[in-house]
Amino acid sequence: MISSSLRRVAIIGGSRIPFCRSNTAYSELSNLDMLSSSLNGLVDRFDLAGVEIGEVGAGAVISHSKDWNLAREAVLSTRLSPLTTAYTIQMACGTSLQAALQLGAKIATGQIDSAIAAGSDTTSDAPIVFGRKFAQRLIRLSNAKTMSERLAAFKGFRPGELTPQAPGAGEPRTKMAMGQHCELMAKEWGISQADQDLLAYQSHKKAAAAYAEGFFDDLLVPCAGIRKDNHLRADTSLEKLATLKPAFDRKSGKGTLTAGNSTPLTDGASSVLLASEEWAKARGLPVLAYLTYGKTASVDFVAGEGLLMAPTVAVARMLADTGLSLQDFDFYEIHEAFAAQVLCTLRAWESDKYCKERLGLTQALGSIDPAKLNVKGSSLAFGHPFAATGGRIVATLAKLLDQRGSGRGLISVCTAGGMGVVAMLEKN
């Protein structure tokens, strides 16, 4: 029977493989390989071999047509019970966080007792396809029944038609890369390269310190012989970062986004185990924290809004729903797709004009304590396998709250397509 009252959604723990820059350690691995490794990490840690999980929701942003049922195939590649239902979702960089929210809602309403939210992405194994013109020739060739029809299929053929087309990294509506959009945001909000470099520097230093203290020991599982994110630069410096040239605006002389303050193309996978309190107790599993609220929002970036500003809207709506202020959190996990995105978000929340005119508030949401922001590092240090980032953040924040013993944390993730996914975790 479905519960008449909402149940708390427990976060039991997470498992991710180390994140690696594209075309390095995981160049021979597929999304299926990486996602399966991450899921098996959960199986091993929480003794889930042969266990039928309520549902698994997972996805990838960059995928092949053969991966149409990635989540289910990944489950069948693990030691989970093959009776476990799994489905594939995709919400750009918010994929695994959105999966957690959707699955959490089913747990809260009593539809399922356990779930795994996961995501994987690789640009090392990106699908390369022929252009439309040559593809149509191949279709006509496959349908041809006579030699003359086969020859006709290649009438007017030019060698240039064989040029492969890699997946586009730009927004289909604007034909601009995400970094180009973020560069416009940085200019609009007056974010300097020095400020961006400082955030990137701090991210690397915090992440290196977290590794040194063993914080990630029970959150990562080795993959392909790799035991640590290979983008992390413990020896970086502000001086080194300052020497890097603009990556997205190379002509105006005013570009501020560089390879050092932007995330690289990254391969990796993550997963998070969610459950009802009853299910966790029955299996003797401790609860790290609870997933208590989530929100999504979108902006009209085609009409000129900042592509990555949707989380500012989603957070404002979540605060209104819950009656909380922006300052009522002990930790803030703001996804560092670009340092500029984080800084634009913070500046927007501090702006009376933006909060009144765009968010419909009476005053600015205000500032947050920088000591509470991305305290163990974030995407600028670890890298950003698109669909896997949300899972990494949920597991990290849940562990932080568990170590603290109580508290509340905010997650903010920007995505392609002008969307944002935000969530709240609590421990009490």
Two tokens, residue 347? 């500046």
Residues 6+ apart with CB under 8 A from 253: none
Cβ atoms of 122 and 34 within 8 Å: the answer is: yes
Q: How far apart are CA 132 and CA 146, in angstroms?
A: 23
Q: Among residues 146, 178, 353, which one has the least CA distance to residue 262?
A: 178
Provide the residue type at 264 as one letter. Answer: P
Q: Name the 3-class secondary structure at 373.
A: strand
Two tokens, residue 107? 């747990």
Burial classification of residue 321, based on how many CB atoms lie within 10 Å of its CB (0-12 exposed, 13-18 middle, 19 or more buried): exposed
> Could you confirm whether 414 is annotated as catalytic?
yes
Q: Which of the residues 181, 231, 335, 384 is marked catalytic?
A: 384
Q: Which of the residues 182, 223, 344, 414 is marked catalytic?
A: 414
What is the C-alpha radius of gyration for the chain, rounded to an integer number of angstroms?
22
Q: Among residues 97, 83, 91, 110, which one has the least CA distance to residue 11?
A: 97
CB-based burial, 291-307: b 16+ in 10 Å, e otherwise: bbbbbbbebebeeebbb
Per-residue 3-state assignment (H helix, E strand, C coil) for 245-313: CECCCCCCCCCCCECCCECCEEEEEEEEEEEEHHHHHHCCCCCCEEEEEEEEEECCHHHCCCCCCHHHH
Q: Which of the residues 20, 93, 182, 344 is marked catalytic?
A: 93
Residue with tokens 């974030």: 378
Q: How far apart are CA 376 and CA 213, in angstroms?
A: 11
> Could you confirm whether 384 is annotated as catalytic?
yes
Length of the chain: 428
Residue with tokens 């944002």: 420
Q: How far apart are CA 391 and CA 400, in angstroms?
A: 14
* Helix 339-350 × helix 310-322 angle, to 10°: 50
Provide the residue type at 372 as one letter. Answer: K
What proportions of the chain, in percent to the nearest 5, are helix, strand and coil?
40, 20, 40
List C-alpha distances in Å: 111 to 1, 3, 83, 194, 290.
9, 8, 16, 50, 18
Classify strands 289-298 and 419-427 as parallel, antiparallel or unpaired: antiparallel
Give catalytic residue positions: 93, 384, 414
